[in-house]
Protein backbone atom coordinates (compact mmCIF):
# COMPACT_ATOMS: atom_id res chain seq x y z
CA UNK A 1 0.00 0.00 0.00
CA UNK A 2 1.49 3.33 -1.02
CA UNK A 3 1.52 6.34 1.30
CA UNK A 4 2.23 9.99 0.69
CA UNK A 5 4.78 11.90 2.71
CA UNK A 6 5.80 15.54 2.43
CA UNK A 7 9.30 15.73 0.93
CA UNK A 8 11.42 18.11 3.00
CA UNK A 9 12.69 20.68 0.52
CA UNK A 10 14.90 23.12 2.44
CA UNK A 11 18.54 22.39 3.23
CA UNK A 12 17.99 23.35 6.88
CA UNK A 13 15.01 21.04 7.10
CA UNK A 14 16.94 18.16 5.58
CA UNK A 15 19.85 18.75 7.95
CA UNK A 16 17.35 18.76 10.82
CA UNK A 17 16.18 15.29 9.76
CA UNK A 18 19.72 13.99 10.19
CA UNK A 19 20.11 15.75 13.53
CA UNK A 20 16.97 14.10 14.83
CA UNK A 21 18.19 10.78 13.50
CA UNK A 22 21.58 11.07 15.22
CA UNK A 23 19.89 11.93 18.50
CA UNK A 24 17.48 9.04 18.21
CA UNK A 25 20.29 6.63 17.32
CA UNK A 26 22.40 7.60 20.30
CA UNK A 27 19.40 7.37 22.61
CA UNK A 28 18.50 3.99 21.21
CA UNK A 29 22.08 2.76 21.58
CA UNK A 30 22.22 3.85 25.24
CA UNK A 31 18.94 2.11 25.97
CA UNK A 32 20.00 -1.09 24.22
CA UNK A 33 23.42 -1.01 25.89
CA UNK A 34 21.86 -0.73 29.33
CA UNK A 35 19.56 -3.65 28.57
CA UNK A 36 22.40 -5.89 27.39
CA UNK A 37 24.67 -4.94 30.30
CA UNK A 38 21.87 -5.85 32.72
CA UNK A 39 21.86 -9.28 31.08
CA UNK A 40 25.59 -9.65 31.59
CA UNK A 41 26.51 -9.05 27.94
CA UNK A 42 29.31 -6.83 26.61
CA UNK A 43 27.99 -5.47 23.29
CA UNK A 44 30.17 -3.74 20.71
CA UNK A 45 29.45 -0.12 19.78
CA UNK A 46 28.79 -1.19 16.15
CA UNK A 47 26.07 -3.63 17.22
CA UNK A 48 24.58 -1.06 19.57
CA UNK A 49 24.34 1.55 16.82
CA UNK A 50 22.81 -0.75 14.21
CA UNK A 51 20.09 -2.37 16.30
CA UNK A 52 16.82 -3.20 14.49
CA UNK A 53 15.22 -0.10 16.02
CA UNK A 54 18.06 2.14 14.86
CA UNK A 55 18.06 0.51 11.43
CA UNK A 56 14.38 1.40 11.18
CA UNK A 57 15.14 4.99 12.21
CA UNK A 58 17.86 5.19 9.58
CA UNK A 59 15.75 3.85 6.72
CA UNK A 60 12.80 6.10 7.64
CA UNK A 61 14.91 9.27 7.65
CA UNK A 62 16.78 8.35 4.48
CA UNK A 63 13.48 7.68 2.72
CA UNK A 64 12.49 11.28 3.45
CA UNK A 65 15.75 12.56 1.92
CA UNK A 66 15.67 10.11 -1.00
CA UNK A 67 18.05 11.50 -3.66
CA UNK A 68 21.43 11.63 -1.93
CA UNK A 69 20.82 8.67 0.33
CA UNK A 70 19.75 6.43 -2.51
CA UNK A 71 22.52 7.55 -4.86
CA UNK A 72 25.33 7.00 -2.34
CA UNK A 73 23.87 3.60 -1.53
CA UNK A 74 23.59 2.67 -5.20
CA UNK A 75 27.18 3.65 -5.92
CA UNK A 76 28.53 1.76 -2.92
CA UNK A 77 26.46 -1.31 -3.71
CA UNK A 78 27.74 -1.31 -7.31
CA UNK A 79 31.02 -2.67 -6.03
CA UNK A 80 30.88 -6.38 -5.32
CA UNK A 81 33.49 -6.14 -2.60
CA UNK A 82 31.00 -6.26 0.24
CA UNK A 83 31.91 -2.76 1.44
CA UNK A 84 28.67 -2.35 3.35
CA UNK A 85 27.64 -4.81 6.06
CA UNK A 86 24.51 -6.93 5.49
CA UNK A 87 22.44 -4.74 7.82
CA UNK A 88 23.08 -1.64 5.72
CA UNK A 89 22.49 -3.51 2.49
CA UNK A 90 19.06 -4.51 3.81
CA UNK A 91 18.30 -0.88 4.70
CA UNK A 92 19.22 0.27 1.20
CA UNK A 93 17.12 -2.50 -0.35
CA UNK A 94 14.12 -1.35 1.68
CA UNK A 95 14.86 2.24 0.72
CA UNK A 96 14.77 1.39 -2.99
CA UNK A 97 11.40 -0.27 -2.43
CA UNK A 98 10.01 2.62 -0.38
CA UNK A 99 6.45 3.46 -1.38
CA UNK A 100 6.45 7.01 0.03
CA UNK A 101 5.56 9.67 -2.50
CA UNK A 102 4.81 13.38 -2.60
CA UNK A 103 1.29 14.46 -1.65
CA UNK A 104 -0.76 16.01 -4.46
CA UNK A 105 -0.28 19.53 -3.05
CA UNK A 106 3.50 19.30 -3.55
CA UNK A 107 3.09 17.79 -7.02
CA UNK A 108 0.81 20.68 -7.95
CA UNK A 109 3.37 23.21 -6.71
CA UNK A 110 6.11 21.70 -8.87
CA UNK A 111 3.90 21.64 -11.97
CA UNK A 112 2.70 25.17 -11.33
CA UNK A 113 6.30 26.39 -11.16
CA UNK A 114 7.15 24.55 -14.38
CA UNK A 115 4.01 25.22 -16.47
CA UNK A 116 2.24 28.13 -14.79
CA UNK A 117 -0.83 28.51 -12.57
CA UNK A 118 -3.12 27.09 -15.23
CA UNK A 119 -1.06 23.92 -15.65
CA UNK A 120 -4.15 21.68 -15.43
CA UNK A 121 -5.57 23.22 -18.62
CA UNK A 122 -2.75 21.59 -20.58
CA UNK A 123 -4.16 18.13 -19.76
CA UNK A 124 -7.50 16.41 -20.01
CA UNK A 125 -6.58 14.01 -17.21
CA UNK A 126 -3.89 13.82 -14.53
CA UNK A 127 -3.58 10.86 -12.15
CA UNK A 128 -2.55 12.21 -8.75
CA UNK A 129 -1.29 8.83 -7.52
CA UNK A 130 2.14 8.15 -9.05
CA UNK A 131 2.78 5.02 -11.08
CA UNK A 132 6.45 4.95 -10.05
CA UNK A 133 8.79 6.66 -7.59
CA UNK A 134 12.58 6.85 -7.68
CA UNK A 135 15.49 8.62 -6.02
CA UNK A 136 14.81 12.17 -7.19
CA UNK A 137 11.29 12.15 -8.64
CA UNK A 138 8.06 10.30 -9.25
CA UNK A 139 6.08 9.50 -12.39
CA UNK A 140 2.40 10.23 -13.09
CA UNK A 141 0.22 9.15 -15.99
CA UNK A 142 -1.88 11.75 -17.81
CA UNK A 143 -3.65 12.59 -21.05
CA UNK A 144 -2.78 15.57 -23.21
CA UNK A 145 -5.45 17.78 -24.77
CA UNK A 146 -5.41 15.53 -27.86
CA UNK A 147 -5.89 12.47 -25.59
CA UNK A 148 -2.30 11.32 -26.13
CA UNK A 149 -1.29 9.22 -23.08
CA UNK A 150 1.87 10.57 -21.44
CA UNK A 151 4.12 9.86 -18.48
CA UNK A 152 5.14 12.92 -16.47
CA UNK A 153 8.22 12.71 -14.26
CA UNK A 154 7.98 15.28 -11.45
CA UNK A 155 11.09 16.08 -9.43
CA UNK A 156 11.01 16.24 -5.65
CA UNK A 157 11.28 19.88 -4.55
CA UNK A 158 14.59 21.01 -3.08
CA UNK A 159 16.60 18.07 -4.43
CA UNK A 160 18.77 20.15 -6.78
CA UNK A 161 19.65 22.79 -4.16
CA UNK A 162 20.62 20.26 -1.51
CA UNK A 163 22.63 17.69 -3.46
CA UNK A 164 26.13 18.50 -2.21
CA UNK A 165 25.15 18.99 1.43
CA UNK A 166 22.91 15.89 1.37
CA UNK A 167 25.74 13.69 0.09
CA UNK A 168 28.13 15.04 2.73
CA UNK A 169 25.56 14.50 5.47
CA UNK A 170 24.81 10.94 4.36
CA UNK A 171 28.55 10.24 4.37
CA UNK A 172 28.67 11.48 7.96
CA UNK A 173 25.86 9.08 8.79
CA UNK A 174 27.78 6.15 7.33
CA UNK A 175 30.76 7.09 9.46
CA UNK A 176 28.55 7.50 12.56
CA UNK A 177 27.31 3.95 12.10
CA UNK A 178 30.86 2.75 11.34
CA UNK A 179 29.56 1.26 8.10
CA UNK A 180 32.59 1.99 5.91
CA UNK A 181 35.80 0.01 6.56
CA UNK A 182 38.71 2.21 7.62
CA UNK A 183 40.85 0.97 4.73
CA UNK A 184 38.33 1.96 2.02
CA UNK A 185 38.47 5.50 0.64
CA UNK A 186 35.02 6.47 -0.67
CA UNK A 187 35.99 10.02 -1.65
CA UNK A 188 35.60 9.28 -5.37
CA UNK A 189 32.23 7.66 -4.72
CA UNK A 190 30.96 10.71 -2.84
CA UNK A 191 32.23 13.09 -5.53
CA UNK A 192 30.63 10.94 -8.22
CA UNK A 193 27.35 10.81 -6.28
CA UNK A 194 27.23 14.61 -6.33
CA UNK A 195 28.12 14.81 -10.02
CA UNK A 196 25.65 12.13 -11.04
CA UNK A 197 22.82 13.63 -8.99
CA UNK A 198 23.39 17.07 -10.53
CA UNK A 199 23.10 15.45 -13.98
CA UNK A 200 20.03 13.38 -13.09
CA UNK A 201 18.32 16.39 -11.52
CA UNK A 202 18.39 18.21 -14.86
CA UNK A 203 15.58 16.64 -16.85
CA UNK A 204 16.58 18.60 -19.95
CA UNK A 205 19.81 16.58 -19.95
CA UNK A 206 17.82 13.37 -19.59
CA UNK A 207 15.70 14.40 -22.57
CA UNK A 208 18.89 14.89 -24.59
CA UNK A 209 20.19 11.47 -23.50
CA UNK A 210 16.89 9.84 -24.49
CA UNK A 211 17.07 11.46 -27.92
CA UNK A 212 20.68 10.32 -28.34
CA UNK A 213 19.88 6.74 -27.37
CA UNK A 214 16.89 6.72 -29.69
CA UNK A 215 19.18 7.55 -32.62
CA UNK A 216 21.50 4.65 -31.71
CA UNK A 217 18.69 2.06 -31.78
CA UNK A 218 16.59 3.65 -34.53
CA UNK A 219 17.30 0.84 -37.02
CA UNK A 220 16.73 -1.98 -34.51
CA UNK A 221 13.08 -2.98 -34.64
CA UNK A 222 13.34 -4.97 -31.42
CA UNK A 223 13.29 -1.82 -29.29
CA UNK A 224 10.93 1.05 -28.62
CA UNK A 225 11.60 4.25 -26.66
CA UNK A 226 9.31 7.06 -25.48
CA UNK A 227 9.29 10.43 -27.22
CA UNK A 228 9.84 13.64 -25.28
CA UNK A 229 7.01 16.20 -25.30
CA UNK A 230 9.30 19.23 -25.52
CA UNK A 231 6.62 21.85 -24.85
CA UNK A 232 5.93 20.27 -21.43
CA UNK A 233 9.51 19.49 -20.43
CA UNK A 234 11.67 21.60 -18.13
CA UNK A 235 14.65 20.96 -15.87
CA UNK A 236 12.28 19.65 -13.17
CA UNK A 237 9.42 18.13 -15.20
CA UNK A 238 9.92 15.56 -17.99
CA UNK A 239 6.92 14.67 -20.15
CA UNK A 240 7.11 11.67 -22.49
CA UNK A 241 4.78 9.46 -24.47
CA UNK A 242 3.46 6.63 -22.31
CA UNK A 243 4.87 3.13 -22.71
CA UNK A 244 2.12 0.61 -21.92
CA UNK A 245 4.23 -2.54 -21.86
CA UNK A 246 4.29 -5.24 -19.20
CA UNK A 247 7.13 -5.70 -16.68
CA UNK A 248 9.92 -7.55 -18.45
CA UNK A 249 10.22 -10.08 -15.63
CA UNK A 250 6.65 -11.18 -16.45
CA UNK A 251 8.23 -13.07 -19.36
CA UNK A 252 9.74 -15.55 -16.90
CA UNK A 253 6.74 -17.87 -17.39
CA UNK A 254 6.62 -17.59 -21.18
CA UNK A 255 7.97 -20.17 -23.66
CA UNK A 256 11.73 -20.65 -23.66
CA UNK A 257 12.17 -19.39 -27.21
CA UNK A 258 10.54 -16.06 -26.33
CA UNK A 259 12.57 -15.69 -23.16
CA UNK A 260 15.83 -16.43 -24.94
CA UNK A 261 15.02 -14.01 -27.75
CA UNK A 262 14.35 -11.11 -25.36
CA UNK A 263 17.39 -11.97 -23.22
CA UNK A 264 19.64 -12.05 -26.28
CA UNK A 265 18.35 -8.66 -27.39
CA UNK A 266 18.92 -6.88 -24.07
CA UNK A 267 22.37 -8.41 -23.59
CA UNK A 268 23.42 -7.50 -27.14
CA UNK A 269 22.18 -3.97 -26.48
CA UNK A 270 24.27 -3.71 -23.31
CA UNK A 271 27.38 -4.94 -25.12
CA UNK A 272 26.88 -2.44 -27.94
CA UNK A 273 26.48 0.36 -25.41
CA UNK A 274 29.86 -0.44 -23.89
CA UNK A 275 31.97 -1.57 -26.83
CA UNK A 276 30.51 0.22 -29.86
CA UNK A 277 28.71 3.38 -28.82
CA UNK A 278 30.58 4.31 -25.65
CA UNK A 279 27.25 5.56 -24.27
CA UNK A 280 25.85 3.43 -21.46
CA UNK A 281 22.55 3.53 -19.62
CA UNK A 282 23.98 2.53 -16.25
CA UNK A 283 20.79 1.76 -14.32
CA UNK A 284 19.77 -1.87 -15.01
CA UNK A 285 16.69 -1.70 -12.76
CA UNK A 286 14.15 -4.19 -14.09
CA UNK A 287 11.55 -1.39 -14.14
CA UNK A 288 13.53 0.29 -16.93
CA UNK A 289 12.66 -2.56 -19.31
CA UNK A 290 9.10 -3.27 -20.43
CA UNK A 291 7.70 -5.75 -22.94
CA UNK A 292 4.90 -4.91 -25.35
CA UNK A 293 3.07 -8.19 -25.85
CA UNK A 294 1.11 -7.08 -28.94
CA UNK A 295 4.18 -5.95 -30.91
CA UNK A 296 6.92 -8.04 -29.28
CA UNK A 297 9.00 -4.91 -28.75
CA UNK A 298 11.24 -4.27 -25.75
CA UNK A 299 10.57 -0.81 -24.31
CA UNK A 300 13.49 1.10 -22.79
CA UNK A 301 12.93 3.69 -20.06
CA UNK A 302 14.83 6.14 -17.83
CA UNK A 303 17.95 7.75 -19.26
CA UNK A 304 18.90 9.97 -16.34
CA UNK A 305 21.87 7.78 -15.39
CA UNK A 306 23.80 7.60 -18.66
CA UNK A 307 27.58 7.70 -18.94
CA UNK A 308 30.09 8.24 -21.75
CA UNK A 309 33.13 6.03 -22.30
CA UNK A 310 35.97 7.02 -24.61
CA UNK A 311 37.21 4.87 -27.48
CA UNK A 312 40.37 4.26 -25.45
CA UNK A 313 38.36 3.01 -22.46
CA UNK A 314 36.21 0.76 -24.66
CA UNK A 315 39.33 -0.64 -26.36
CA UNK A 316 40.96 -1.35 -22.99
CA UNK A 317 37.86 -3.17 -21.79
CA UNK A 318 37.70 -5.20 -25.01
CA UNK A 319 41.36 -6.19 -24.60
CA UNK A 320 40.62 -7.25 -21.02
CA UNK A 321 37.65 -9.33 -22.12
CA UNK A 322 39.68 -11.08 -24.81
CA UNK A 323 42.46 -11.79 -22.31
CA UNK A 324 39.90 -13.34 -19.94
CA UNK A 325 38.57 -15.50 -22.76
CA UNK A 326 41.84 -16.67 -24.31
CA UNK A 327 44.87 -15.32 -22.45
CA UNK A 328 47.18 -16.41 -19.64
CA UNK A 329 47.02 -14.93 -16.14
CA UNK A 330 49.76 -12.43 -16.99
CA UNK A 331 47.69 -11.18 -19.95
CA UNK A 332 44.67 -10.64 -17.71
CA UNK A 333 46.83 -8.92 -15.09
CA UNK A 334 48.30 -6.51 -17.62
CA UNK A 335 44.92 -5.72 -19.17
CA UNK A 336 43.36 -5.29 -15.72
CA UNK A 337 46.08 -2.80 -14.80
CA UNK A 338 45.46 -0.81 -17.99
CA UNK A 339 41.79 -0.22 -17.11
CA UNK A 340 42.45 0.51 -13.43
CA UNK A 341 41.74 -2.68 -11.51
CA UNK A 342 45.36 -3.05 -10.41
CA UNK A 343 48.50 -1.01 -9.87
CA UNK A 344 52.10 -1.79 -8.96
CA UNK A 345 51.51 -1.39 -5.22
CA UNK A 346 48.91 -4.16 -5.00
CA UNK A 347 50.05 -7.30 -3.13
CA UNK A 348 50.50 -10.52 -5.07
CA UNK A 349 47.58 -12.28 -3.38
CA UNK A 350 45.24 -9.45 -4.29
CA UNK A 351 46.42 -9.45 -7.89
CA UNK A 352 45.80 -13.19 -8.14
CA UNK A 353 42.36 -12.71 -6.59
CA UNK A 354 41.40 -10.06 -9.15
CA UNK A 355 42.55 -12.30 -12.02
CA UNK A 356 40.44 -15.14 -10.63
CA UNK A 357 37.41 -12.87 -10.29
CA UNK A 358 37.77 -11.57 -13.82
CA UNK A 359 37.96 -15.11 -15.17
CA UNK A 360 34.76 -15.90 -13.32
CA UNK A 361 33.00 -12.75 -14.52
CA UNK A 362 33.81 -13.63 -18.14
CA UNK A 363 32.59 -17.21 -17.82
CA UNK A 364 29.53 -16.65 -20.10
CA UNK A 365 31.85 -15.32 -22.82
CA UNK A 366 33.80 -18.61 -22.83
CA UNK A 367 30.75 -20.87 -23.04
CA UNK A 368 30.56 -23.54 -25.71
CA UNK A 369 27.18 -22.82 -27.26
CA UNK A 370 24.52 -21.21 -25.07
CA UNK A 371 25.23 -20.11 -21.51
CA UNK A 372 22.37 -21.02 -19.18
CA UNK A 373 21.93 -17.98 -16.94
CA UNK A 374 18.95 -19.54 -15.22
CA UNK A 375 20.99 -22.43 -13.82
CA UNK A 376 24.19 -20.50 -13.19
CA UNK A 377 25.53 -19.96 -9.66
CA UNK A 378 28.12 -17.46 -10.92
CA UNK A 379 26.92 -14.59 -8.71
CA UNK A 380 27.16 -16.74 -5.57
CA UNK A 381 30.64 -17.97 -6.44
CA UNK A 382 31.93 -14.44 -7.08
CA UNK A 383 30.38 -13.19 -3.85
CA UNK A 384 32.07 -15.95 -1.86
CA UNK A 385 35.45 -15.15 -3.42
CA UNK A 386 35.05 -11.46 -2.66
CA UNK A 387 34.18 -12.12 0.96
CA UNK A 388 37.19 -14.42 1.24
CA UNK A 389 39.46 -11.70 -0.17
CA UNK A 390 38.13 -9.11 2.25
CA UNK A 391 38.53 -11.41 5.25
CA UNK A 392 41.86 -13.06 4.41
CA UNK A 393 43.74 -10.65 2.16
CA UNK A 394 42.80 -7.69 4.38
CA UNK A 395 43.02 -5.52 1.28
CA UNK A 396 40.53 -3.93 -1.03
CA UNK A 397 40.28 -0.76 -3.02
CA UNK A 398 37.62 0.59 -5.29
CA UNK A 399 38.25 0.43 -9.04
CA UNK A 400 37.77 3.62 -11.09
CA UNK A 401 34.27 5.02 -10.88
CA UNK A 402 33.59 4.28 -14.55
CA UNK A 403 34.33 0.61 -13.89
CA UNK A 404 31.94 0.65 -10.92
CA UNK A 405 29.15 1.75 -13.24
CA UNK A 406 29.92 -1.15 -15.56
CA UNK A 407 29.78 -3.52 -12.57
CA UNK A 408 26.30 -2.21 -11.95
CA UNK A 409 25.26 -2.51 -15.59
CA UNK A 410 26.59 -6.01 -16.27
CA UNK A 411 25.61 -7.29 -12.83
CA UNK A 412 22.07 -6.09 -13.48
CA UNK A 413 22.07 -7.80 -16.86
CA UNK A 414 23.13 -11.06 -15.23
CA UNK A 415 20.31 -10.82 -12.67
CA UNK A 416 17.73 -10.07 -15.38
CA UNK A 417 18.83 -13.00 -17.55
CA UNK A 418 18.84 -15.21 -14.47
CA UNK A 419 15.29 -14.11 -13.66
CA UNK A 420 14.20 -14.88 -17.24
CA UNK A 421 15.85 -18.33 -16.97
CA UNK A 422 17.45 -17.59 -20.31
CA UNK A 423 20.13 -19.32 -22.35
CA UNK A 424 22.19 -17.04 -24.59
CA UNK A 425 25.02 -17.68 -27.05
CA UNK A 426 27.29 -14.96 -25.60
CA UNK A 427 30.38 -15.77 -27.74
CA UNK A 428 28.21 -15.39 -30.84
CA UNK A 429 27.09 -11.93 -29.70
CA UNK A 430 30.71 -10.93 -29.13
CA UNK A 431 31.70 -12.17 -32.58
CA UNK A 432 29.06 -9.87 -34.07
CA UNK A 433 30.60 -6.91 -32.27
CA UNK A 434 34.06 -7.91 -33.43
CA UNK A 435 32.99 -7.87 -37.08
CA UNK A 436 30.46 -5.03 -37.15
Q: Catalytic residues, which ones?
A: 283
- Nearest Cα to Cα of residue 208 among 188, 189, 235: 235
Question: Residue 408 class from Cβ within 10 Å (0-12 exposed, 13-18 middle, 19+ buried)?
Answer: buried
Residues 163, 10: Cα–Cα separation, whole Å: 11
Contacts of 34 (CB under 8 A, 6+ apart): none
Tell me the C-alpha to C-alpha distance, in Å, between residue 239 and each of 212, 226, 235, 281, 288: 17, 10, 11, 19, 16
Longest dimension (CA), the chain: 72
DSSP assignment of 22-78, as one string? HHHHHHHHHHHHHHHHHTT----HHHHHT-HHHHHHHHHHHHHH-HHHHHHHHHHHH
DSSP assignment of 349-374, as one string? HHHHHHHHHHHHHTGGGG-SS-EETT
First to last CA, the chain: 48
Amino acid sequence: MTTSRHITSSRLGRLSLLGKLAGGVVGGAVKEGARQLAQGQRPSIEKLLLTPANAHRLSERLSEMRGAAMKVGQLLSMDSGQILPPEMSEILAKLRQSAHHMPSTQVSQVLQTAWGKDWQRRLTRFDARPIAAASIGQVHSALLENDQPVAIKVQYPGIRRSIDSDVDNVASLLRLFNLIPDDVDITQVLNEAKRQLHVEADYLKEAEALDRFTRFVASDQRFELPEVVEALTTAEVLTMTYMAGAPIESLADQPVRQRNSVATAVLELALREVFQWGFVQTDPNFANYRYQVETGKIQLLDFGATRDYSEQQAAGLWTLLQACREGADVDIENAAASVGYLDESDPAGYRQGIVSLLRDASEPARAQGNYNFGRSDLADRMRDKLIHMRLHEKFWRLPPIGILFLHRKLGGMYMLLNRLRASVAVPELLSRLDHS
